[in-house]
Structure 1
Amino acid sequence: MKAKGVRMYGAKDIRLEEFELPEIKEDEVLLKVMSDSICMSTWKEVKLGSGHIRVPDDIADHPVIIGHEFSGVIEQVGSKWADEYKEGERFVVLPGIPDQMGAPGYSYEHFGGAVTYCIVPNDVIEKGCLLHYDGDAFYEVSVSEPMYCIIGGYMANYHTKPETHEHFIGAKEGGNIAILGGCGPMGLGAISYALAMENKPKMVVVTEINDDRINRAREVISEEDAKARGVELHYVNTAKMDDEVKELMDLTGGEGYHDVFVYAPVKAIAETGNKILAFDGCMNLFAGPADSGFSADMNLYDCHYRNTKLLGSSGGIKADLLEALDLIAKKEVNPAVMITHVGGIDSIVDTTLRLPEIPGGKKLTYTQFEMPLTAIDDFRKLGETDPLFAKLADACDKNQGLWNKEAEEMLLDHFGV
């Protein structure tokens, strides 16, 4: 059958094209992809091409489908899996496949998200990476993948138990959390999770250097919202501080931060995070640097005498994805806080190549139709001449200016999907 999608042939060489998709084998499953959000990890992958650890060397001859934050419905089921999956049901793909480096969106010729249809190989299904989904919105699944990475980051952190050799996993309950460079899409997800997780912190401090980004973050997750959940939330613009380390420490009464998450791969930010750690604090370099030689000055004296810990995390495990889906279903986190732009399959190439240059948060694309990438903030203006955008603006205005199920259904209905 014919499929249409974005494939990578080399570094910075991605192409939207039609290609032949083979018939599925008895141990495979065919997916109809409906939505795929564009991850900064994909931009890094495209920048490096085969130089990326997950990308094969032969992509010039066997291009891979990009995109790994995708959602849709099961189109066809091979006989081996007929008792497990049904045509028409919705799915979730766990992108981090256990015990292997290869992943959808990086490594497979016929398995990825930026496409109309794709094939899930047998080994991926056998490893439990094709999950059932009972929800009713595609966008929630596409941005559940970022949420699962965020949860994985929280669960990577650890602390010690006094007078034992035991560690406990996760952020410190009742502690202080700093999310540095945290008003981007992933940072907003991290704030949302901090307010919803079981071992809630006492305080969350979110730093940024741009007032517009802070104001947007405050609109979707306010200090009042956090207070209602029992958490003290602060947004601070460190560009306006004379001594950011001192002023960040002062917010904690000099105690410091038990969990620091670095959400921008910037040397100065990482060094600030290291300096504001509390005793037994843990700093997680969550933002993945594109530079393989990325480094920063860290205080190893504190590692020895103040029990501070430094680590990094990427992705998560199946349990993290299941938790993300559960929190989304219960409306305890709203992954739409990350989404600022919506587009069609024809917007994926340009958006991916220019992702760091495009302001805002997550770029959500729908793969079954064509539509320019459009900022949600622009819907109302576009609606003056286009009734579709007027209706989309109304739907988003009813939901704190956020993307939502009503808007998604409106868009899919408009394009006859």
Structure 2
Amino acid sequence: MKTRAVRMYGEMDLRLEEFELPEIKDDEILVKVISDSICMSTYKLAKQGKKHKRAPQDIDVNPIITGHECSGVIVQVGEKWKDKYKVGDKWALQPALNYQGKLDSPGYSYRFCGGDATYCIMPHEVMELDALLPYDGEAFYQASLGEPMSCVIGGYHANYHTNKQNYNHAMGTKKDGNILIMGGCGPMGLGAVSYGIRFENKPKRIVVTDVDDAKLERAASVISPEFAASKGVELIYFNSSKENAEEELLALTDGHGYDDVFVYVPFKPVAEMGDRLLAFDGCMNFFAGPTDNQFKSEINLYNAHYTSTHILGTTGGNNDDLLEALQLAAKGEINPSVMVTHVGGLDAVADTTCNLPGIPGGKKLCYTQFDMPLTAIDDFEELGKKDELFAKLDESCKAHNGLWNPEAEKILFAHFNVEI
């Protein structure tokens, strides 16, 4: 079977090509990919090429397919898996594999497996690790966004707190505590806000910082303080570029400090401010992944000793985190749509990936079964004056608080004759 896919040959060398897939083996599964959201991790892969720890060293002659935040339907099932997987079933993918100590991962390491493709082959280790998960939701994009949401959820579950009576760690963010999400108006930060409002260890307060008023205004429009208050959480958006930002952030907690701090930007001053704002027994999660393997910042070890502050970092989520993300999205308890600001087709993937840091907004969602320029949701109205498709998409998004939604996805599928 032929597939069209974006393949990486080296540093910033991504090419959309058509080529033949081999026949699947008895322990493999052929899938049709419908949607893939572009992750900053894929940009980091493209920037590093062979230097990336998950990339094979022969990509110049055996290129890999990029993309890992993907979803679709099963087309063909190898004999080994016929009792577990069925043709036509929808799927979501947990790409953070750790199979027999190897870091190989879909979208980073495989010649025939990645989300930026019309069709691809799931290798046996994906199924061995139960990483090809069933999905019964309404829209494919929600399953694609399940992967980044699982990373957010994993971060919440990984945080921990201690006590002075024993050495037990209480896992998760502190119930009724103060959460600080630094650099939190990007797609992952908004996912963290959406999840924090409904996490079982519900906080008393979530403070979200950014230095861009426009981003803060958009964030407040898609997850409003009023909505958070209706769920029992005080939500505050705060511009941290002001002169006395640190003092004002501390004052928001009445001097208590923050029980849980999530750092969503790899910026030394931000990490150091987060450390200074920790409360007694506060936990800081350095969530942002730097590209510099020598990235460092100073931490206060006096506080680590006397006030039990502690720091960790998380990347990715596990299968349970992804299942939780999918289930919560299906129930409407979290809204991954807050992440998406742009939509495009397969032909937009390579250029978008290589220029991702310079494209404003949140998640760039691409549908792999057709070509379409990457387009901002905010531009739908103007484009709709001359193009009926964008007029319909604009109407749909405006009916959903300006957000991408299942109805809009169906409009695209009908326009491009996508068969599921």
TM-score bracket, normalised by the shorter chain, equals over 0.9
1:330 paired with 2:331, answer yes
What is the aligned partner in structure 1 of residue 14 from structure 2?
Answer: 14
Helix, strand or coil at the partner of 2:197: helix
Looking at structure 2, the residues matched to 80 and 161 of structure 1 have their Cα atoms a distance apart, in angstroms, of 48
- TM-aligned CA deviation for residue 161 of structure 1: 2.8
Whole-angstrom distance in 1 between the partners of 2:164 and 2:318:
28
For the residues of structure 2 that align with 1:162 and 1:331, how far apart are their CA atoms?
39
After TM superposition, the structure 1 = structure 2 runs for residues 114-193 of structure 1, keeping only pairs within 5 Å, are 114-193=116-195
Quote the residue 2:267 is aligned against: 266
Summarize deviations over 1:79-111 as a string: whole Å, max 9, x none.
Answer: 221121111110011111134311100011111
The answer to whether the aligner puts 1:224 opposite 2:226 as a matched pair is yes
Match of 1:42 in 2: 42
Alignment of 1:296-335 (within 5 A): 296-335=297-336
Counterpart contact for 2:138–2:330, Cα < 8 Å: no
Instruction: Give 1:375's aligned amino acid.
Output: A
Q: Distance in 2 between matches of 1:316 and 1:36?
A: 17
Amino acid at match of 1:84: K
In structure 2, how many angstroms separate the alpha carbons of the residues matched to 1:171 and 1:146? 19
Residue matched to 1:201: 203
Residue 156 of structure 1 and its aligned partner are, at CA, apart by 1.4
Q: Secondary structure at the match of 2:317?
A: coil
CA distance in 1, matches of 2:322, 2:98: 13
- Aligned to 1:149, the other structure's residue is in SS state helix
Number of the residue aligned with 2:417: 416
Q: Report matched runs for 1:265-414 at 5 Å.
A: 265-414=266-415
Tell me the distance in 2 between the aligned counterparts of 1:406 and 1:370: 19
CA displacement 1:309-352 (0-9 Å, x = unmatched): 01111001111111111111110000000000000000001100
Aligned partners of 2:367, 2:126: CA distance in 1, in Å? 24
**SS of residue matched to 1:174:** coil
- Residue identity matched to 2:204: K
Q: What amino acid is the match of 2:146?
A: S
Which consecutive aligned stretches of 4+ in structure 1 deviate over 4 angstroms post-superposition? none
User: What is the identity, as a one-letter code, of the residue corresponding to 2:106?
Assistant: P
**Bigger shift: 352-361 or 79-88?**
79-88
Instruction: Name the structure 2 match of 1:60.
Output: 60
* Distance of 1:139 and 1:123 partners within structure 2: 24
Q: Cα distance, 1:191 vs. partner?
A: 0.2
Q: What is the distance in 2 between the residues matched to 1:333 and 1:107?
A: 31
Query: What is the CA distance between 1:243 and its match in structure 2?
Result: 1.7
TM-superposed deviation, 1:259: 0.3
Q: Which amino acid aligns with 1:302?
A: N
Take 2:104 and 2:61, find their aligned partners in 1: how far apart are those partners?
18
Q: Deviations over 1:32-65 (max 9, x none)?
A: 0000000000000110011011111111111100
Whether contact under 8 Å (2:98, 2:104) holds in the other structure is no
Distance 2:322 2:170 in 1: 21
Give the letter for the 2:124 counterpart: N
Shift of the alpha carbon at 1:238?
Answer: 1.1
Which of 203, 210, 213 is the equivalent residue of 2:212? 210
Residues 75 and 87, structure 2, Cα contact 8 Å, conserved in 1: yes
CA displacement at 1:121 relative to structure 2: 1.1
Shift of 1:162: 3.4
Equivalent of 1:237, from 211, 221, 239?
A: 239
Deviation sequence 1:4-38 (CA, Å, 0-9, x none): 01000111111111111101112111000000000
Amino acid at match of 2:80: K
Deviations 1:254-301 (A, max 9, x none): 000000000000011001100100000000110100111111111111
Q: For 2:210, give the aligned amino acid.
A: E
Greater shift after overlay, 179-188 or 93-102?
Answer: 93-102
TM-score by length of structure 2 reads 0.98
2:96 aligned residue: 96
Following TM superposition, by how much is the alpha carbon of 1:244 offset from its aligned partner in structure 2, in angstroms? 1.6
For 1:162, the aligned partner's letter is: K
User: Equivalent residue for 1:24?
Assistant: 24
d(CA) in 2 for partners of 1:271, 1:122: 43
3-state DSSP of counterpart to 1:254:
coil
- Secondary structure, in 3 states, of the residue corresponding to 1:196? coil
Deviation at 1:135, TM superposition (A): 1.1
Supply the AA of the counterpart residue of 1:91. Answer: W
For the residues of structure 2 that align with 1:92 and 1:71, how far apart are their CA atoms? 5
The 1-side partners of 2:166 and 2:259 are apart by 19
Percent identity of paired positions between Structure 1 and Structure 2: 58
Q: Deviations over 1:239-263 (max 9, x none)?
A: 1x22221111000000000000000
The superposition leaves residues 188-226 of structure 1 with CA deviations (integer Å, 9 ceiling, x where unpaired) of 000000001111000000000001000100010000000
Unaligned runs of 5+ in 2: none
Q: Distance in 2 between matches of 1:325 and 1:162?
A: 37
Amino acid paired to 2:23: E
Question: What are the superposed Cα offsets for residues 371-406 of structure 1, whole Å, 9 maximum, x if unpaired?
Answer: 000000100110000011000001101100000010
2: CA distance between counterparts of 1:106 and 1:97?
Answer: 11
Which amino acid is 1:74 matched to?
I
Residue ranges of structure 1 left out of the alignment (5+ in a row): none
C-alpha contact (below 8 Å) 2:342/2:375 kept by paired residues:
yes
Q: CA RMSD in A?
A: 0.8
Q: Residue 362 of structure 1: CA displacement?
A: 0.1
Q: Given residue 262 of structure 2, which amino acid in structure 1 is its aligned partner?
A: F
Q: Which residue of 2 aligns with 1:247?
A: 248
